Amino acid sequence: MFSKLASRPIAIGVAASLSMALAATTTTSNDVASCDSSSPVPVSKMLSTIQSSLSRIEATLGIPPPAPKYTPPSGASYNPTVPSVPPVTPHGIDIVLGAQWGDEGKGKLVDILSQTYDVCARLKSLELAGVKWEGRIKLSDRAHLVFDFHQEVDGKQESKLGRNKIGTTKKGIGPAYASKISRNGVRVGDLKDMEYFEERFRILCDYQMQANPGLKIDVEKELDYYRKISPYVQNMTTDTIEYTNQAYLAGKKILVEGANATMLDIDFGTYPFVTSSNPSIGSVLTGLGVSPRKLNGIYGTVKAYCTRVGEGPFPTELVDQPGSTGEFLRSNGYEFGTTTGRPRRCGWLDIPQMKFSTNINGFTSLNLTKLDVLTGLPELKIGIRYTLDGKPIDTMPANLKIMTSSKFKVEYEVLPGWTEDISTCTKFAELPPNAQKYVLRVQELIGVPIRWIGVGPNRLDVVDRGPGWDVVEQKRM
């Protein structure tokens, strides 16, 4: 909704670069003839020619050859060369997104990264953190307002669902989105013209009271309140689309923190047990009003295990029993809802879910959090595959009935645990061998470099494996 932001151009520009490289690449007459259907050639020669051409294209584009896949010998401990990950670039828009069901620890990474950015989007609790925010916060004039009656409606709707409740936080988000989609919502920018605001507000209140019998709204009292705060809000209101794009053109570094997480996305999540918005990569474009050409690093935040608050499917959930692994994770990881205080459901890391999230968001690097919470477990499990009636499922099922079927199973891979305290580790090589093995196996299964690793509860308890970013290691020494 406001604050600091940054990144460089990504995949959208690849096609143009490739066509330019093709035009710039010199080909011999033999090369052309080899691909001519009128001149039959052996398949092996054709493939060799294609590979040669691709190599020249890659060289023209400056693309390094792929690193060989690391395969540890049977029974050997992990001690591979850490693969390189993309550096943080001088300017543009970088995004931190939640890759699971929320509460992954995005804020910790944003807190550290934001020190080197010029603009940040969606930072909260600034005053409590001692940050001077006056004159620095920008509210979008297109942001929709959530009113008290939205929260009241939210609570009533949830109560009516009974056993089929969604698990909403009852903060009014869903009803506010319903107002937006119904085109009778009221936006922040409307406060600039109180006559117009009053007109829009009365229409919205009439609609809500008709749609929700028993709902009472003191319209005049509410309007009096908004007349008083209007000047204060207007001082912070701006066209954030223009602001963000001008910051980008001026070479500013922009950091964006997504709300919630991918598996709570209204379209891609475990519907209907989702939020009302799109907390995945698409919302960055529609929420900020920026072109995908301006995006650079997309950092997915994922816990070393998995949690979920509220209702909905959770394939790798550990059923709670006294002394169970799920109870161990909840206790060691302080897994209780930030907003509601509800105990979070805990389970093993879910690779099919993470691959699904990666497909949607196109993560360039991962931020693996709370690795330290796993310390002390004799063995660790990773959910690597879904099956239905014994047959593999290649993707995240859209039909939730499948995921709750007795025939739906998760296959696990078991890795050894560790007992050493990792909270003082500042480099990847300092982690216990089994902790390194776990991180590298997760990276291999998901197929995205793990750049940051959370090793403790404190702000700087982070191991960074990437180049050109040693803020954490310097401050901890």
The answer on pLDDT for 270 being more than 70 is: yes
- Reported as a pLDDT band with limits 50, 70 and 90, residue 466 is confident
Question: Has 180 been annotated as catalytic?
Answer: yes
**Mean pLDDT, rounded, for 379-394:** 94
Position 131 scores a pLDDT of 62
DSSP bridge pairs for 95 = 256, 298
Q: Is 458 marked as binding a ligand?
A: no
Place of tokens 């959910």: 383
The answer on pLDDT for 22 being more than 60 is: no
CB 102 within 8 A of CB 236: no
Question: Average per-residue pLDDT in the chain?
Answer: 80
Position 76 scores a pLDDT of 42
- Reported as a pLDDT band with limits 50, 70 and 90, residue 388 is very high
CB 381 within 8 A of CB 414: yes
Tens digit of pLDDT for each residue in 412-428?
A: 999 999 999 999 999 99
Position 255 scores a pLDDT of 93
210: number of CA atoms within 13 Å, CB side?
A: 6
Q: Is 454 marked as binding a ligand?
A: yes
Position 450 scores a pLDDT of 96
Sorted by sequence, the CB contacts under 8 Å of residue 456 that are 6+ apart come out as: 372, 422, 423, 424
Position 259 scores a pLDDT of 85
Q: Is 371 marked as binding a ligand?
A: yes
The answer on pLDDT for 15 being more than 60 is: no
Q: Is 289 marked as binding a ligand?
A: no
Instruction: Please choose, from the candidates 265, 257, 300, 314, the residue with its C-alpha nearest in 3D space to the C-alpha of residue 446.
Output: 300
Give the active site residue among 165, 180, 355, 409: 180
- Reported as a pLDDT band with limits 50, 70 and 90, residue 471 is very low
Q: Is 340 marked as binding a ligand?
A: yes
Pairing of strands 253-257, 295-303: unpaired
CA distances from 141 to 8, 254, 319 (A): 26, 19, 46
The answer on pLDDT for 21 being more than 90 is: no
Tens digit of pLDDT for each residue in 60-77?
A: 545 555 544 444 444 444
pLDDT over 70, % of the chain: 74
Q: For 102, which DSSP code?
A: S
- Reported as a pLDDT band with limits 50, 70 and 90, residue 183 is very high
Q: Is 372 marked as binding a ligand?
A: yes
Q: Is 169 marked as binding a ligand?
A: yes
Position 156 scores a pLDDT of 83
* Structural domains of the chain, with CATH: 92-128+252-476 (3.90.170.10), 139-235 (1.10.300.10)
The answer on pLDDT for 146 being more than 70 is: yes
Position 342 scores a pLDDT of 81
Type and span of the H or E element at 221: helix 219-234
Instruction: Please choose, from the candidates 136, 88, 92, the residue with its C-alpha nearest in 3D space to the C-alpha of residue 235.
Output: 136
**Mean pLDDT, rounded, for 118-143:** 72
